[in-house]
Chain A
Amino acid sequence: VPRIESERDRALRRLRRASTVAGVAAGALVGVFAGFAAKAFPGHHAAHTSNVRARVARRQATPPPLVPVEGQAAPSAPAAPPTPASAPPVVASGGS
């Protein structure tokens, strides 16, 4: 009988150890998944920043589908091109 009790005690100890390990592992997993969840669904401020970054990243990776430039109606040419002028200018054209 003492031998049977001893085996039962050992089995119970193994079971307790297994329960403890399982509990610690579960806690760690909860922490890991909480971290993932926090990143995936952050608060208002962080959400705005990360969403903007994500959109910017997507935008940089894939430029918007633009209508092909060639083949479109172009801005119209003038009736006559500019000619060299010797008269004093009345105005300047430049960047503003």
Chain B
Amino acid sequence: MTVAFRALGTTAVVATTNRRHEGDAVAAVERELHAVDLACSRFRPDSELVRVNRARGECVQISALLFTALRVALSAAETTGGLVDPTVGRALRAAGYDRTFTRVVARDSSTFDARIGIVPGWRVVELDGAARTVRIPAGVELDLGATAKALACDRAATAAAALGGGALVALGGDIAVEGDPPDGGWPVRITDDHSASLDTPGPTVAIAGGGLATSSTTVRRWRSRSDELHHLIDPRTGRPAHSEWRSVSVAAASCVDANIASTASFFVDDAPAWLAARALPSRLVSIAGECACVAGWPEDPP
């Protein structure tokens, strides 16, 4: 059974092998996604992250969930040498992603000029595990978009699978699977756009555990008066990344790991080599549409 609904500004899909507890599994996923949204959203005025971003340099007491999300985000920054950095919030805002994406694309582009934002770097974030507090300098804005969605998938899949059987949770193209998969694994269509119809041309691969994430510059795009922009901000320049790849899919031990790697791929010089060096099965699609499969990702069928 597969159930789809809107969550975290995108489409959530839940599939489970446990027919007896399908409804409970969906409810468990909805609870997890709602909790992550309330903790990590950059746009909900009642979210914890908004409170942190508006704290003007003051120390803020945070929930265990936001603490986990921040720890994951900082770990992503550390393991990628700062390529996946949560302090891109202000740069995203300067680039025009200063409201929900629906409202970004609805804005009259002729009235808007993108600016270059400042990315101060993840080391300015002071996360205190003992006191469960966070402090960021005044003017710094955190954006957890790269990791919080994937974390939500991992947590939701774990919650759904705890009811028995196997579960798949997808959120805007990021996928986590947990528990016993169906025979042959969970079949996933790889596309440029996660919201495309399932009969859209593209390879189908099966995963039995862990996570799969696709990052792409083709979907979350918008225009300013003079530029076309996208949401993958290179922390070293504060601008949307210029990459030879338009879409990168990565399979990893978790959805968080897959998302970290697929996002970082847009900022490294040689993404196939970077992914292969980490034994991360990946499929990269160039701007021209040519595919490269590395580290055991199956070649596209002819």
Contact = CB atoms under 8 A, between A and B. Distances in A.
Interface residues of A, number: 36
B251 A94 contact: no
Contacts, number: 205
B170 A56 contact: no
Nearest to A67: B81
B194 A92 contact: yes
A4 interface: no
A77 B11 CA distance: 26
A86 B13 CA distance: 20
Contacts of B192: 94-95
Contact of A87 (B83, B187, B202, B279): B187
Interface in B73-100: 78-83
Given A95-B214, A95-B220, A75 B78 contact: no
Contacts of A68: 81
A1 B80 CA distance: 95
Nearest to A69: B81
Given A59-B118, A59-B238, A85-B185, 19 more contacts: A56-B238, A75-B79, A75-B252, A75-B257, A75-B280, A76-B257, A77-B279, A79-B253, A81-B297, A84-B204, A87-B184, A88-B198, A90-B13, A91-B188, A92-B200, A95-B173, A95-B192, A96-B10, A96-B220
Interface of B: 2, 10-11, 13, 15, 78-83, 116, 118-121, 168, 170, 172-175, 184-196, 198, 200, 202-220, 235-238, 247, 249, 251-254, 256-258, 260-261, 268, 274, 277-281, 295-298, 301
